[in-house]
């Protein structure tokens, strides 16, 4: 089964109709079919904060509830950042100056490699600079 790691930009684009990538993200999401979705608690933290800032507290809370339902039925796996992942992400963060990746993005890159995901669903081109497959093309 194909596995995709969902990044903050994809979650935000799916939830917020006024997001630049909303149409592209929605069409891509619908075409994913039986793809196993994965994300991390760091990505979700970043997403809740972004949704609250751009769309309000209610939107962030509704998003959290929707994710809970997706987890319960096996459509989504949330991976928790461990000390080991954190340390590997920090090493990557120190090396990739100029790529434009946040620390959270570095944890995503580490997880994508360690968990063997096929691609990252998102819009942050910095992932491509690390040799990761980013879809859809921004």
Q: Is the pLDDT of residue 137 over 80?
A: no
Residue 69 phi/psi, 5-degree rounding, is -65, -40
> What is the reported pTM?
0.94
For residue 122, give its domain range: 3-135
In which order are the strands placed within the sheet that holds 119-121?
Answer: 76-79, 36-40, 3-6, 119-121, 134-135
pLDDT digits (tens, 9 = 90+) for 81-127: 999 999 999 999 999 887 788 999 999 999 999 998 999 999 998 99
CATH number of the domain enclosing 48: 3.40.50.1010
Q: What is the total count of domains within the chain?
A: 1
Kindly provide the residue ranges of all beta strands, DSSP E only, lying in 3-136, ordered along the sequence.
3-6, 36-40, 76-79, 119-121, 134-135
Q: How many CA atoms lie within 13 A of 89 on its CB side?
A: 19
């Amino acid at each position: 089964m194909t596995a995709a790691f969902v990044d903050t930009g994809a979650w935000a684009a799916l939830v917020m109709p006024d997001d630049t990538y909303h149409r592209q993200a929605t069409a891509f999401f619908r075409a994913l079919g039986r793809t196993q979705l994965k994300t991390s608690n760091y990505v979700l933290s970043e997403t809740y904060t972004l949704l609250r800032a751009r769309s309000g507290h209610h939107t962030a809370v509704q998003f959290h509830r929707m994710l809970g339902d997706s987890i319960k039925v096996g459509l989504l796996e949330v991976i928790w950042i461990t000390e080991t992942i954190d340390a590997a992400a920090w090493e990557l963060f120190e090396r990739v100056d100029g790529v434009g990746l946040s620390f959270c993005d570095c944890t995503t890159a580490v997880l994508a490699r360690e968990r063997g995901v096929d691609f990252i669903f998102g819009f942050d081109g910095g992932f491509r600079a690390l040799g990761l497959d980013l879809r859809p093309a921004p």
